[in-house]
Amino acid sequence: MRRRVGRIILWALYLLVASNLAAALWVWAHSPLGHLLVARTDDQIRLLTDQAVAREATPERMSALMTARLAESPRNWLVIDALKDVAAERGIAFPPPVQAQLQAADDADHGVVAGLGACGACLLDAGSCQMSWVLACQAPVVLTPLGDIEGVATESWHAANGEAVDRINLGLSIVGLGSTLLALPSEGASVPFGVGANLARLAHRTGALTRGASEMILRAVDRGVDWAGLRKLGALDLLSDPAAVRPFLHPAAFAEVEATAADLGRVAAATGPAGALYLLRSVNDADDARRLAHVSEALGPKTVGRAEVLGGRRLLRFALSLGRLGLWITGAAFWALASFATLLGHLLHHATFMGVRRLRRALR
């Protein structure tokens, strides 16, 4: 009788643990990630990143980072200046050899003759020059509606004539023109769309657009463009009026790219266009762009230096933390797993004991 009661209690415990574990896993599977993670406040982001930089921005690491950046060709002076700011913030003086390299690099890259040559190189190949020169030399076209109009007209012309189409350039140009081509509801909202889309298009030209972001744009273009209809347009019509492509676009397909572009516009407002272009290397999808915008608005001009010292992907993780629901589910899952392991151990112990007992009886 006692054994039967004990077995009933034991199996009841098994059932309780299994049901708790199943409930926790079910909630994990069916709850949107946004319900489990909550956005940190600006003060929390600043505090946590300051603490992380205090641990990792040692004199040795700062010298190594600076030496590596100075050895690049072309050099990224946005990042070099950001590293100098972090070093000054931490009270770190670079060793004399590094200071000498800094001075020599500055003299070589910032002279008048060097500047004219660099700008000429940027106009020919944006991927071969410094980020600061990319913006200075290509911004008048690439970062304005003129660049969007040129992008839509050029790629639509290619499509109409059966030539190869740069779908990323087309997609970002479409989003850049926003309210003109996609009938966005608010004219004010088109400003961050335009800035973010144009920065992404410049990143595409310089090879700085991530594979994830590129695939997101390609999906939008493949789903959102009626290629058969686009090829029927007259080339002259496209050149004179890029909005002629509007009937052949499906705005809903560009929603994710629009959201990403808007968040990149927020990043540019917080860090400057050059900072946003550098930070874009950490963006693979719309969620990354949203987190980057949140962190950038909290850190402002310090964002680039923090990203260089801590890593861009790691910096994004400072934007979110587990909320109460996430903590409860995590705790419940760990408790259920621990309890299940304990009961399983007890079951194995009991089975082993009974097996040994039967073996003894058989040997007598």
Residue pLDDT, tens place only, 300-355: 999 999 999 999 999 999 998 654 544 445 555 565 566 666 666 666 666 676 66
Q: 327 and 184 share a domain?
A: no
Residue 75: predicted pLDDT: 87
Helices (H) and strands (E) in the chain, counts: 20, 2
pTM for the complete prediction? 0.75
Q: What's the mean pLDDT in 145-166?
A: 83
Q: 100 and 177 share a domain?
A: no
Q: 216 and 302 share a domain?
A: yes
pLDDT higher than 70, residue 7 = no
The answer to whether the CB of 206 falls within 8 A of the CB of 198 is no
Residue 160: predicted pLDDT: 77
Q: 157 and 299 share a domain?
A: yes
Q: 231 and 175 share a domain?
A: yes
Q: How confident is the model at residue 89 (pLDDT cuts 50, 70, 90)?
A: very high
Q: How confident is the model at residue 220 (pLDDT cuts 50, 70, 90)?
A: very high
Listed residues 117, 139, 161: the one ending a domain: 139
Residue 271: predicted pLDDT: 96
CA distance 215 to 67: 34
Question: First vs last Cα of the chain: how many Å apart?
Answer: 27
Residue 286: predicted pLDDT: 95
Listed residues 139, 162, 184: the one ending a domain: 139
Q: 275 and 354 share a domain?
A: no
Residue 256: predicted pLDDT: 94
Higher pLDDT, 123 or 237: 237
Higher pLDDT, 352 or 290: 290
Could you give the number of structural domains in the chain?
3
The answer to whether the CB of 308 falls within 8 A of the CB of 83 is yes
pLDDT higher than 50, residue 113 = no
Parent domain of 21: 2-39+323-363
Q: What percent of the chain has pLDDT over 90?
A: 41
Q: What's the mean pLDDT in 150-176?
A: 86
pLDDT higher than 90, residue 248 = no
Residue 156: predicted pLDDT: 81
Q: 293 and 234 share a domain?
A: yes
pLDDT higher than 60, residue 193 = yes
37 backbone dihedrals φ, ψ, rounded to 5°: -110, 140
Listed residues 119, 139, 159: the one ending a domain: 139
Q: 235 and 161 share a domain?
A: yes
The answer to whether the CB of 230 falls within 8 A of the CB of 156 is yes
Q: 68 and 35 share a domain?
A: no
pLDDT higher than 50, residue 186 = no
Name every residue whose Cβ is closer than 8 Å to that of residue 91 and which is 6 or more positions away in sequence.
none
Q: What's the mean pLDDT in 154-160?
A: 83
Q: 264 and 303 share a domain?
A: yes
CA 215 to chain centre: 13
CA distance 347 to 359: 18
What rounded mean pLDDT belongs to the chain? 79
pLDDT higher than 80, residue 167 = yes
Q: What's the mean pLDDT in 1-25?
A: 61
Q: How confident is the model at residue 104 (pLDDT cuts 50, 70, 90)?
A: very high
CA distance 135 to 122: 9
Residue 253: predicted pLDDT: 93
Higher pLDDT, 81 or 133: 81
Q: How confident is the model at residue 9 (pLDDT cuts 50, 70, 90)?
A: low
Residue pLDDT, tens place only, 16-75: 656 665 665 555 555 554 455 678 899 999 999 999 999 999 999 999 999 999 999 888
pLDDT higher than 60, residue 235 = no
Residue 110: predicted pLDDT: 75
pLDDT higher than 70, residue 133 = no
CA distance 59 to 63: 6
Residue 177: predicted pLDDT: 80
Q: 126 and 200 share a domain?
A: no
Higher pLDDT, 112 or 47: 47
pLDDT higher than 60, residue 194 = yes
Q: 178 and 303 share a domain?
A: yes
